[in-house]
Amino acid sequence: MASEAFTGSLIFTHVIPAIFGFFGIILICNGIMDRKQNYTYAGIALFFAAGLLPFVILPLAFGI
């Protein structure tokens, strides 16, 4: 049972934030270069979500 929780926490602390951060940076660059504010705002939101996701999901998942 402990390995299942450990695997789930790795997904939320390492995999998903890295994906969100990568696509956030891509959207920010694309939005700035093409002068599309919607892409820029979406990229900023994804980048912040990547940083905050572990601190929101893990306490809810583990009841801390």
SS3 21: helix
Using the predicted structure, report yes or no on whether residue 44 has a pLDDT greater than 70: yes
**CA gap 46, 28 in Å, rounded:** 9
**CA gap 47, 31 in Å, rounded:** 14
Provide the pLDDT confidence category of residue 3 given band limits of 50, 70 and 90. low
- What mean pLDDT do residues 44-57 have? 92
Using the predicted structure, report yes or no on whether residue 23 has a pLDDT greater than 70: yes
**Token match 């990229």: residue?**
43
- pTM score, whole prediction: 0.79
Using the predicted structure, report yes or no on whether residue 7 has a pLDDT greater than 70: no
**CA gap 34, 1 in Å, rounded:** 48
Burial code of 49-58, b = ≥16 C-beta within 10 A, e = fewer? ebeebeeebe
The share of the chain scoring above pLDDT 70, in percent, equals: 86
